[in-house]
Amino acid sequence: MNFYALLEDKQPYSRVGEFRGQTVPVGSLNTPNALGLHDMAGNVWEWCHDWYDAGYYAQSAGATNPSGPGSGQFRCVRGGSWNYYPPYCQAAFRFIRIPYFRSFRYGFRLLRH
pLDDT at 75: 92
The strand order across the sheet containing 106-107 reads 94-97, 75-78, 45-51, 106-107
pTM, two decimal places: 0.73
Residues of the chain falling short of pLDDT 70? 13-14, 111-113
pLDDT at 74: 93
* 47, part of any domain: yes
pLDDT at 14: 66
Can you give the three-state secondary structure of 54-97, one letter per residue? CCHHHHCCCCCCCCCCCCCCCEEEECCCCCCCHHHCCCCCEEEE
* 89, part of any domain: yes
The neighbour count for residue 11, using CB atoms within 10 Å, is 9
pLDDT tens digits along 32-44: 777 777 777 778 8
* 33, part of any domain: no
pLDDT at 113: 67
76 — phi, psi (to 5°)? Answer: -90, 145
pLDDT at 73: 93
Total length of the chain: 113
pLDDT at 109: 72
pLDDT at 97: 92
> Per the structure, how many domains does the chain have?
1
Domain holding 14, by residue range, is: 1-28+38-61+68-113
H helix or E strand, kind and range, residue 9: none
* 24, part of any domain: yes
